[in-house]
Amino acid sequence: MNITSAMVKDLRDKTGAGMMDCKEALTASGGDFDKSIDFLRKKGLSAATKRSSKAAKDGTVSTYIHMGGKIGVMVELNCETDFVAKTENFQNLAKDIAMQVAATNPTYVNSEEIPQEILEREKEIYKSQLLAEKKPEKIWDKIIEGKLNKFYEEVCLVNQKFIKDDSISVGTLINNMIAKTGENIIMRRFCRFQLGEEIKK
């Protein structure tokens, strides 16, 4: 894939990494922006990585009510300072994430929250499927990794495609705000209520 200067500039704007590092990341990931950001983070070159050691003790709690009061969401989004927490961009980010939770109903914030027994159960299901499909065992690990990534996309908030722009994930959306503000931003927790969901019929 041809890596253009515009792509490099866009990645640099989003991550704060150097031009050559951004070009290397885009080349290594075949032009995929999310994978490029992951590449930079693994090398410790993105603004998100540089800020991750900073304490994020400020922030906001944002709410979103959908469908005339049928679904309600509350999210806690943290940053480092009250100054950033009060900015319109940060407040809008929190509202967008609350709307995301209302629309997609994730189970976890990120993959680190998934209990090991849940992951093991998923892997066993995938292995059973591959066995039934008579796939060569030597390629199982790669296929299972792909299936797990798809699973993360379904159940983990930060891995989901952003509902307003499916070319990026919620994690990338947050990283973009880190690059803009220069502060560490953490999606801490969320809760989602759906009217009548716990009532037995």
Residues 25 and 119 in one domain: no
Whether 171 shows a pLDDT value over 80: the answer reads yes
CATH of the domain at 121: 1.10.286
Residues 32 and 15 in one domain: yes
Domain count within the chain? 3
Residues 68 and 41 in one domain: no
Residues 164 and 129 in one domain: no
Which segment of 21-25, 38-42, 78-82 scores lowest on mean pLDDT? 38-42
Percent of the chain at pLDDT > 70 equals 89
Residues 35 and 126 in one domain: no
Residue 64, domain member (yes or no): yes
What does the pLDDT look like over 47-96, one tens digit per residue? Answer: 555 555 566 779 999 999 987 889 999 999 999 889 999 999 999 999 99
Pick from 192, 156, 177: nearest CA to 56: 177
Residues 67 and 124 in one domain: no
pLDDT band at 200 (very low <50, low <70, confident <90, very high): low
Tokens linked to 102? 């209302």
